[in-house]
A and B are shown apart, each in its own frame.
Chain A
Amino acid sequence: MTIERTWPIDMNAGPIFVQIANHVRQMLARGEIVPGDKLPSARDLAAGLGVNPNTVVHAFAQLERTSVIETRRGLGTFVRGDAPVAAMRRDMLRTAAAAFAVEAAALGVSTPEALAALKEALNAG
């Protein structure tokens, strides 16, 4: 798992711990990490991102509470074998769809028009 400064931490986009937790979920949903993978230590991740180690601990605690990761004593932190990857993928797709819908509405386009544009974009991608 890479912990370069490519992780998008935006100081104007809400608490950092939420952003870190969301980024781990996103990596899972995209298949960039898979169940069973080991996460970097909180301190390594904190140093890589230039944030306070407590902030990463907070993010990990949230991921642990929501059954995404688990801490194995003396071994480190791992993505749980039963991490709800499918649900996360569905949630993220819905979030992206909602953002698209908001933009389409702001542009005042009809649903068929919006769907046509979406289809076109999907085919192009």
Chain B
Amino acid sequence: MLASLNRATKQYGRTEGVRDLTVEFPPGEVVGVLGLNGSGKSTVLKLLAGLLFPTSGDVAVFDGPARAQRGRVVYLGETDALWSWMTPDDAATFMAGLYDDFDVKRYRELLASLAVPRRRTKAMSKGERGRLRLAMALARDAKLYLLDEPLGGIDLLSREKILQSIVREWHTDETILLSTHEVAEAEGLFERVIYLREGRIALDATAETLREHGKSVVQTYREVLG
């Protein structure tokens, strides 16, 4: 397994992020992590990213504790923490200094295909910043990508560009976990979908199998989580 949670629970004070969650991710899967707000999507990704530590249970990545693998996992968080003075060139210097696996050539190609302007981030639209952040994340050469809401709150054309870049950049031995509320737009990309409800798995299924039974990922979302 590339990554797994084994009976993992994460409590924040009284509220639980995830509860007794067991799930495995083999290499080479594009997984949709779906659920309503507060269902535990971000917690799952943060646990795998090693940014959170489970209250109980284990979280393993590349056969080691997730915490020890932080430098080898790509995590794109929900919050836009880009410095306002940064240009895409500055971001490249920053990322290359931080991560050995940052591929500058790939980054340049991504900036072009995502049509990221070369100005400072403070002069960019939300969609442009979202595209820049995705380029920064996908330009790293890793085996596990954790993308938390990369489509959140940005315009339709940016969302399409982002989905296309993910399709183009994904290598068959890499696993991508993508959480999103834009289920209809992203569902074609997912091979597997995990529906979370109150920190537990409500359904874990192959997208094409759902469709074989005449139900889209969106329709299943309504039935499982509605």
By a beta-carbon cutoff of 8 Å, the part of chain A in contact with chain B is 9, 11-17, 43, 46-47, 49-55, 58
Contact = CB atoms under 8 A, between A and B. Distances in A.
Interface string B187-226: 1111100000000000000001001101111110000000
Given A12-B219, A15-B208, A16-B208, A54 B214 contact: no
B212 A52 contact: no
A90 B163 CA distance: 38
A31 B7 CA distance: 56
B191 A43 contact: no
A11 B218 contact: yes
A15 B212 contact: yes
Contacts of A15: 208, 211-212
Interface residues of B, number: 24
A50 B211 contact: no
A47 B214 contact: no
Given A11-B216, A14-B214, A51-B189, A43 B184 contact: no
Given A14-B214, A15-B211, A51 B168 contact: no
A9 B167 contact: no
29 contacts: A9-B188, A11-B188, A11-B216, A11-B218, A12-B211, A12-B216, A12-B219, A13-B211, A14-B211, A15-B211, A15-B212, A16-B188, A16-B208, A43-B167, A46-B167, A49-B188, A50-B160, A50-B164, A50-B167, A50-B189, A51-B167, A51-B189, A52-B30, A52-B188, A52-B191, A53-B167, A53-B170, A55-B188, A55-B208
Interface in B11-43: 30
A52 to B, nearest CB: 5
A58 B211 CA distance: 15
Contact of A17 (B160, B208, B216): B208
Interface string B164-185: 1001101010000000000011
Nearest to B171: A53
Contact of A14 (B30, B160, B212, B217): B212
Contacts of A50: 160, 163-164, 167, 185, 188-189
Contacts of B30: 52
A56 to B, nearest CB: 10
Nearest to B212: A15
Contacts of B184: 11
B188 A54 contact: no
A47 B164 contact: yes
Contacts of B218: 11
Given A50-B185, A51-B188, A16 B211 contact: yes
Contacts of B168: 43, 47
